[in-house]
Amino acid sequence: MSTASRPLAVQLGEFVAGLRFENLPPAVVDKAKAVVNHAVTVGMAGFGTERAGAARQAVLSQERLGTRRVGAGQGATLWVEGTRVTRVGAGFANGVAVAVNNQCDSYHMLTHPGVLIVPAGLATAEGEGRTGRELLTALVAGYEVQCRCARDFICVVTFCTRRWRWSG
């Protein structure tokens, strides 16, 4: 079956499943490290804002897990304060901290992948005990898929004329 006749989801899935750290060019690995650094730095800067605090409180009140109730491999850390919550909760609250000051990365003004991919990737890697290489490979896959989808599917005219803003 030709590439053109296979569903896009299948093509993207095969790409992601076949991606290996060893095959990533050094420049791509360096860029992946840089986006982690950027997202965490911006997230730390956004930590003290009202919206980031509200996101953390929403997670904590919903989960009521505390620092000792999340089992090994089941949780991830809220940046700066260090409280362990579910991976989903950490990804959400840390993502809000990244997004709150509008200093997140951008792909041709179409999407802001670091707001979603880095906090979710770090929470998943921490919660599942993944290596740094596995994390970087997953981040590269996430960026590639999100940016390709943005490039091919977001209508730039609608975006510019209606001034919509979305993260994904």
Predicted pLDDT of residue 34? 96
Give DSSP secondary structure letters for 48-66: TSHHHHHHHHHHHHHH--T
Tens-digit pLDDT string for the chain (168 aa)? 566 688 888 988 999 999 999 999 999 999 999 999 999 999 999 999 999 999 999 998 887 655 555 544 468 999 999 988 889 999 999 999 999 988 777 665 667 788 899 999 999 999 999 999 999 999 999 999 888 877 776 665 555 555 555 554
In a domain, residue 74? The reply is yes
What pLDDT is stored for residue 72 in this prediction? 43
What integer pLDDT is reported at residue 73 of this predicted model? 45
Within a domain: 167: no
Distance CA(138)–CA(143), nearest Å, equals 9
Map residue 107 onto helix, strand or coil: strand
Q: How many domains is the chain built from?
A: 1
Calpha distance 53→59 (Å, rounded): 10
Instruction: Answer yes or no: are the C-beta atoms of 144 and 122 closer than 8 Å.
Output: no
Residue 49, in any domain of the structure: yes
Say which DSSP state 6 is in.
Answer: S
Residue 5: its pLDDT value, please? 80
In a domain, 77, yes or no: yes
| pTM listed for this prediction | 0.81
**Per-residue pLDDT at 9:** 85
Using CA atoms, how far apart are residues 24 and 138, in angstroms rounded to an integer?
Answer: 11
User: Which residues span the domain enclosing 149?
Assistant: 3-16+26-162
- The per-residue pLDDT for 158 is 54
What pLDDT shows up at residue 156?
57
Does any domain span residue 151? yes
For helices 132-153 and 8-18, the axis angle rounded to 10 degrees is: 160
Q: Is residue 21 part of a domain?
A: no
Confirm whether 88 is domain-assigned: yes
